[in-house]
Amino acid sequence: MSGGGTALWTQLFADHHASLSGYFRRRIADRSDAEDLAQEVYLRLLRSDAGTRSDIRNPEAYLYTVAANLAREHAAARSRSPVTVEDIDCVADSVADERLGEEAIEREHRYRLLVEAIDRLPPKNRAVLLMQHRDELSYREIAEHLQVSTHMVKKHVVKALALCRRAIAAIE
Amino acid sequence: MSSAEPGNNSEAIRDLIAEAAAEWYVLHREGALSPAQSQEFLRWLRASPQHVREYLAISAIGADLGAALHRVQTPTDALVADALAQDAVVTLPNRRRDTMSAAARRRPQQGTLRPAAIAAAAVVLIGSAAVMLWSLPRDDSISTRRGEQRTQELADGTIVRLNSDTELAVDFGPAARRVDVRRGQAMFEVAKDRARPFSVHVGNATIEDIGTVFDVSTTAADTMVTVIEGRVAIWNRDAREHAAGATSAGAQPLADLGVGEQALIAASGKVDRVAGANLGKATAWTRQEIMFDHDSIASVAAEFNRYNRLQVRIDDASIARIPISGVLRAYDVHAFADFLNGLPNVHATIDAHEVRVQRH
């Protein structure tokens, strides 16, 4: 697989991101949903062991695809149950509008939580994350700025991501 | 035996899992993984639902980073200056970490796994069912030797995976499918067939299900049932047979288990139910791993003895009770001996026949 392939998978995740992030939003309201999703994805991964291991050549892409499909299935099952057939025609447009609004609000909420978590990071982790993702500097450029090795830069990025994740998990 | 106390340890484990997930995520963003790395990543994902959860959560954060970070106005120079100053202020990151941990501590803890008790005496459990007339003419028992694992598809499409040193008896008739676990551990992925209910018999317990995946591990002292998918009901064998014969609505299963639940059935028939089981741990054997989390040295040694000819013997009862945590290859007794030698006051020696564990 080439570097271009990786970009492709990154795009794939970006495509799936809307349906996945719905889960992380609902997680606040209904924790069990996100638990179910991870659990189900996990079970599919286990089951894929029935064939040969090499049949999953790109496990990350496989993971995103399985997760996004399950998230969509759950969302479909959810919206099916409470809405009656008669409701659908007259409210379809307003629901679509509402969804868009809801998505924007949810995205705003996510960004705010993330910015708060980044503000609380140790300075090095914070600097590295911003330089990489906002200023789009390479590991080598960041390493020069901070007078550390590129290996160390990578460690700071990993730590920063993990700390953000834990901070957001603690709030939710 | 008591379950592990939730607390700082489980939080430290969550931190480690989040870091492992972030490391994999960063590695993926750097470019192509080698086939070996891809397989290693898959193995890691398969080790626990917690790994899957953390990886998805970190991916979601990663996808938001670009947009979110553009809202941070701090100029790069100031960021660099702060970062360089950090070297002089060693306590800062630690204090910050403590604050986050305190916030996390308020959350309810997940359930923990109750370690299986150790076999105290060798008791052979044999099902009392008569051999049915329509039994297959060939030998209907499946077994593995010590150190051998096997996956087999049964006549109905059910897939059964046998751990080392395990014996099953399979008895499929036109109205029922029955498997007796005589010893050892097995995982069942049951094929749906409503006309022929599937049941697993072990000791004095009957486990019934309708299309599901579950794990049964039995020692002379007790049996552990773990549900990986679907639902199972556990019955006292006599009560179940009685209930099937008459129309007794009063008969109740001993336990009704859903996904991620576990039941420890003692020889006495007492059932302890555990919610939120660690499925990664319960299925570790399918990856030839032994995963232990606050389990006694004695119970971990019993697991190693299930796989290896080189047996671990513990001479000191106070050492046998010490709780340990880690993951090791099931066939690597030497690694286990090294692990034990790393503990204070514990000394493990290896000769041709056994690993002896003594007080130092």
Instruction: Identify all chain B residues contacting A164, using CB atoms and an 8 Å cutoff.
Output: 61
- Number of domains composing chain A: 2
Quick one: closest CA in A to B14, which residue?
A166
Q: Is A92 found in the same domain as A54? A: no
* Closest-CA distance of chain A to residue B318, Å: 37
Instruction: Name which of A1, A17, A118 is nearest B32 (Cβ-Cβ).
Output: A1
Of A49, A64, A80, which closes a domain? Answer: A80
Q: Are B337 and B300 in contact (CB under 8 A)?
A: no
Question: What is the span of the domain harbouring residue A102?
Answer: 85-171
Query: Would the ipTM clear 0.85, i.e. be above it?
Result: no
Q: Is A133 found in the same domain as A165? A: yes
Length in residues, chain B: 360
Q: Is A7 found in the same domain as A20? A: yes
Residues A135-164: tens digit of each pLDDT: 989 999 999 998 888 888 988 999 999 999
Contact B76 A130 (CB under 8 A): yes
pLDDT given at position B154: 84
Contact A165 B54 (CB under 8 A): yes
Q: Which of residues 143-162 of B touch A (CB under 8 A)?
A: 159
Pair of tokens at residue B284: 């570790």
Residues A27-75: tens digit of each pLDDT: 444 445 555 678 888 888 877 654 445 557 788 888 888 887 777 776 6
Is the model's pLDDT at A165 over the cut of 70? yes
* Domain architecture of chain B: domains with CATH: 6-137 (no CATH), 141-277 (2.60.120.1440), 288-359 (3.55.50.30)
Quick one: closest CA in B to A27, which residue?
B57
Residues B237-287: tens digit of each pLDDT: 777 776 665 444 557 788 888 888 888 888 777 888 777 777 777 888 877
Q: Is A119 found in the same domain as A62? A: no
Q: Are A156 and A143 in contact (CB under 8 A)?
A: no
How far apart CA B301 and CA B298 sit, in angstroms, is 5
pLDDT given at position B288: 78
pLDDT given at position A132: 92
Of A80, A99, A125, which closes a domain? Answer: A80
Instruction: Name which of B32, B86, B259 is nearest A39 (Cβ-Cβ).
Output: B259
Q: Is A74 found in the same domain as A115? A: no
Instruction: Identify all chain A residues contacting B96, using CB atoms and an 8 Å cutoff.
Output: 120-122
Contact A131 B33 (CB under 8 A): no
Helix axes A139-146, A150-171, angle to 10 degrees: 100
* Closest-CA distance of chain A to residue B173, Å: 26
Q: Which of A29-33, A38-42, B87-91, B133-137 has the lowest mean pLDDT?
A: B133-137
How far apart CA B321 and CA B337 sit, in angstroms, is 16
Distances (CA, A) of B246 to B137, B235, B239, B241, B250: 32, 16, 11, 9, 11
Contact B41 A60 (CB under 8 A): yes
Contact B58 A161 (CB under 8 A): yes
Residue given tokens 């994740």 in the structure block: A165
Residue given tokens 């549900």 in the structure block: B227
Q: Is A143 found in the same domain as A114? A: yes
Q: Is A157 found in the same domain as A131? A: yes
Please state, rounded to an integer, the average pLDDT across all residues of chain B. Answer: 75
Of A58, A80, A102, which closes a domain? Answer: A80
Q: Is A58 found in the same domain as A24? A: yes
Q: Is A166 found in the same domain as A91? A: yes
Q: Is A75 found in the same domain as A97? A: no
Is the model's pLDDT at B34 over the cut of 80? yes
Mutation target vs B (from A158, A159, A168, A172; most B CBs, 10 A cutoff): A158
Instruction: Report the CATH number at residue A142.
Output: 1.10.10.10
Residues B279-333: tens digit of each pLDDT: 777 888 877 788 888 889 999 999 899 888 899 999 999 999 998 888 888 888 8
Instruction: Identify all chain A residues contacting B29, using CB atoms and an 8 Å cutoff.
Output: 6, 10
Residues A99-123: tens digit of each pLDDT: 556 667 777 888 888 999 998 898 8
Q: Higher-confidence residue: B82 or A98?
A: B82
In one-letter notation, the amino acid at residue A71 is A
